[in-house]
Amino acid sequence: MKISGPGMLLFLASLMLLPLPAAAQGTLTGSGCSVSVPGYLSDLAKAYEKETGVKVLVLGGGSVRGLTDLQEGRMDFAASCQSRSLHDPEDLEYRIASWDALVFIVHRSNPVDSITPQQVKDIYEGRINNWKQLGGLDLNLISIISKGRGGVEDSLSTMFLNGQRPLQQKNSTMQASLPAIWEQLVEEMREGFASTGFGSARKRNVKMLKVNGVAPTKENIISGKYPYRRPLFLVIKKNAKPETRKFVEFVLSKKGQKLISSYGMPSLADIK
């Protein structure tokens, strides 16, 4: 099934794929995970500039784009919500910067509040295609799936789909591998269903579904009551310039982690 999103969504998607202009001397640049950037990284970059005077420019575009930009020398660091793979170069250094959780989102008006892991699997495998099957309205259910690999897709595959990737079904629409776009589509689609990260979903006009009756709140993620927790990484090269390492050290410091927690994200300090 194909849908045509609003022209603005296509415009924003095209912007995410454009190269970032060359940064001024003394400026750090990063790109990647579209959950990390709104979840904590944009705010933390501003705090770092206020404290040190060093400007940090961050751009989304997805984990794959961020890692590619870093490897090809266009960025100083990458934000990623996917773990190191066997195909990653040896010179990449992954550091967990914050915690997140995989969540499922629907339109704000959708009366469905909770879902089970089996129902998630049934949606992505095409067995559930109407919201009335979940106790909702008699309305087609359209699941948004990714054209390519990314951190959200990896988490969904590992946590809910027995290691399999979602395949195109009659009840699905395939979109670019950018959770930011899926979130915007769900904001406007009464029939929409998508997976994404807690960090970015909480800032959207969408409903995050409970799983087995447990809401994906910061407190439930920290306690483990909501069990679908996943790490968010900052990735640098092993030969990264000192200024880049200083920024990463700030993120991982007691002050940086306290700021991340204050932004509403589960920090490393929150989860022992």
pLDDT band at 84 (very low <50, low <70, confident <90, very high): confident
Q: What is the pLDDT of residue 132?
A: 97
Residues 141 and 251 in one domain: no
Between 133 and 13, the more confident residue is 133
- Residue 211: pLDDT above 50? yes
3-state helix, strand, coil in the chain (%, to 5): 35, 25, 40
Q: What is the pLDDT of residue 124?
A: 95
Which of 170-179, 201-210, 250-259 is predicted with the least confidence, judged by mean pLDDT? 170-179
CA 102 – CA 135 distance, rounded (Å): 23
Residue 2 inside a domain? The answer is no
Range(s) of the domain holding residue 92: 18-100+231-262
> Percent of the chain scored above 70 by pLDDT?
91
- Residue 34: pLDDT above 80? yes
- Residue 242: pLDDT above 60? yes
Closest CA to 53 of 63, 45, 61: 45
pLDDT band at 147 (very low <50, low <70, confident <90, very high): confident
Residues 73 and 124 in one domain: no
Q: What is the pLDDT of residue 167?
A: 85
Residue 241 inside a domain? The answer is yes
CATH number of the domain residue 236 falls in = 3.40.190.10
Place of tokens 């920290």: 222
Residues 107 and 219 in one domain: yes
- Residue 24: pLDDT above 70? no
- Pairing of β 77-80 and β 92-107: unpaired
66-80 pLDDT per residue, tens: 999 999 999 999 999
Is residue 183 within 8 Å of residue 189, measured between CB atoms? no
Q: What is the pLDDT of residue 181?
A: 92
86-103 pLDDT per residue, tens: 788 899 999 999 999 999
What is the domain count for the chain?
A: 2
- Residue 17: pLDDT above 50? no
- Max CA distance (Å), the chain: 58
Average pLDDT over residues 256-269: 97
Between 150 and 13, the more confident residue is 150
- Residue 19: pLDDT above 90? no
b/e 213-244 (16+ beta carbons within 10 angstroms → b): eebbbbebbbeeebebbbbbbbbbbeebeeeb
Closest CA to 154 of 98, 233, 208: 233
Residues 87 and 122 in one domain: no
Residue 107 inside a domain? The answer is yes
